[in-house]
Amino acid sequence: MLRNEKLWQRVFVLRKNRKRFLRACLSLAGLAAVCGAAFIFGFPSGAGNGFSRSRADVSSTAAASAEPSSAQVSSRAPSSRGAKPDTSITILGAGDDLIHGTIYQQAADRAGGKGYDFAPVYEHVAGLIQKADVSVVNQETVLAGRALPVSGYPLFNSPTEVGDQLVRIGFDVINHANNHILDKGVAGIRATLDYWDTKPVKVVGVYRNDADLEKIRIVESKGIKTAHIGITEMTNGRYLPTGSAYRIVYAADTRKIEHLIKKAKSMADVVVVSVHWGTENTFTLTDKQKKLAQEMVDWGADIIFGNHPHVVQQLQLLTRSSDGAKCPVVFALGNFVSTQLDGKNMVSGLLTVTETKSGGTGKTAYAGMKFTPIVTHYGAGCSNVTIYPFREYTDALAAQHGVRAYTKDFSRSFIQGIVDRSIPKDYQDVS
């Protein structure tokens, strides 16, 4: 068993490496094509040369007019033989990675006394996350497992092996702006950030000091820069001690949020905000959520991944007032994983947004999205926790779900009903 799991982990490391290798090949192939084209045709000369145009030039072009007319495009764009192709990336958001005690106890049992093995929790959805160019998750619990004793509800501290597994399955950005960030005080935050410093990911939502907060986290894919910010409405009544250098950005601090989003916008093509807000276990949005979502979009946020309510809340496409840009906002993605005890808490989703950068204008814009429902499954007594894509989830599995002890009608149609409450059919990725 352990051997198989080790093998599985190696497969994912290989997949990740293969992904990097393929990206490197594509870059080399692109470079070769560009060089070949230059050799055959010669580069067009002049300021309109798309190949030599710097990023700063691209930004100023985009800033000059949010929606350039075709005349503007053709006057600025290089000749057709030198035109850059459009480039698209996918940006994926996942819900709350909520590590209850039963989840890490099972991971410890699997590892047979040698740490924790979280691979089986995520194995059925790992491919979906791996496939996206940039993936973001809300890590609901601190990962101070090496420095402090691990613990479950209500003051969580999870083993760092959780983070190892999130990295292994392809997450690039980890959000810690949530109500549990202060569960283990400053010591928990310090140990969590020290741990993440050893991993190739960007962490948002909690910062070592003001200077660290001002360093906008950017992940680049295929030449498209995505900037990431994490904010939270609440920290369960716990606060940083007076005089602490650590920083958490609260939703009430709208001046700071506006500043961070505008700064991020000036540095990147796409601004992604992870926000922790709303009311637990309700599908109803609060006025605060609705107001802040529109404000953040107007300040420059392009994608908002909301979390905290433990259920899937509405997916909307908001419009930025200044330039008419379309910006996806999912108010809550639900629990990525948990052992909560209500059927509606088992239903979640992965939101994948496509953003396309125009080769002609250099402007990046929303180009589509899909919501892939996922289901946290466990047996009797919350045993064998694992997440399934809804499309692979059967009524036979639902009949064995431990949550049936509390939600008797848990089934595929129950899950579909939860998804239908909040997600327009056009965006559902269920077949």
Write out the residues near Zn ion by the rule CB under 5 A. Answer: 178-179, 308
Minimum Å gap between C-beta 280 and Zn ion is 8
Whether the CA torsion 285, 291, 292, 295 is positive or negative: it is: positive
Dig out the tokens for 165 from the structure.
Answer: 């597994």
Rounded Cα–Cα distance for residues 90 and 367 (Å)? 10
Q: Which residue is nearest to Zn ion (CB)?
A: 308
Minimum Å gap between C-beta 140 and Zn ion is 5
Between 179 and 339, CB nearer to Zn ion: 179
Give the SS3 label for residue 148: coil
Rounded Cα–Cα distance for residues 279 and 331 (Å)? 11
Minimum Å gap between C-beta 234 and Zn ion is 8
Minimum Å gap between C-beta 100 and Zn ion is 13
Rounded Cα–Cα distance for residues 332 and 178 (Å)? 13
Minimum Å gap between C-beta 12 and Zn ion is 27
402 contact partners, CB below 8 Å, separation of at least 6: 378, 379, 380, 381, 382, 383
Minimum Å gap between C-beta 232 and Zn ion is 8
Between 158 and 178, CB nearer to Zn ion: 178
Between 130 and 178, CB nearer to Zn ion: 178
Minimum Å gap between C-beta 176 and Zn ion is 11
Whose tokens are 């986290």? That residue is: 217
Beta bridge partners of 350: 372
Report the largest interatomic distance among the alpha carbons of the chain, rounded to a whole angstrom: 72
Between 78 and 278, CB nearer to Zn ion: 278
DSSP for 228-261, written as a single string: EEEEES--TT--PPTT---B--BTT-HHHHHHHH
Minimum Å gap between C-beta 343 and Zn ion is 19
User: What single letter denotes the amino acid at residue 14?
Assistant: L
Beta bridge partners of 134: 91
Dig out the tokens for 369 from the structure.
Answer: 């999205």
Between 308 and 344, CB nearer to Zn ion: 308
Rounded Cα–Cα distance for residues 173 and 90 (Å)? 14
200 contact partners, CB below 8 Å, separation of at least 6: 167
Minimum Å gap between C-beta 344 and Zn ion is 16
Quick one: which of 298, 324, 300, 328 has its CA closest to 314? 328
Between 216 and 249, CB nearer to Zn ion: 249
Give the SS3 label for residue 280: coil
Between 235 and 316, CB nearer to Zn ion: 235
Q: What region, left, alpha or beta, does residue 112 occupy, with left being phi > 0 and alpha being psi -120 to 50 degrees?
A: left
Whether the CA torsion 322, 326, 328, 331 is positive or negative: it is: positive
Minimum Å gap between C-beta 45 and Zn ion is 57
Say how far residue 395 (Cα) sits from the centre of its chain: 29
Between 180 and 370, CB nearer to Zn ion: 180
Between 311 and 365, CB nearer to Zn ion: 311
Between 175 and 428, CB nearer to Zn ion: 175
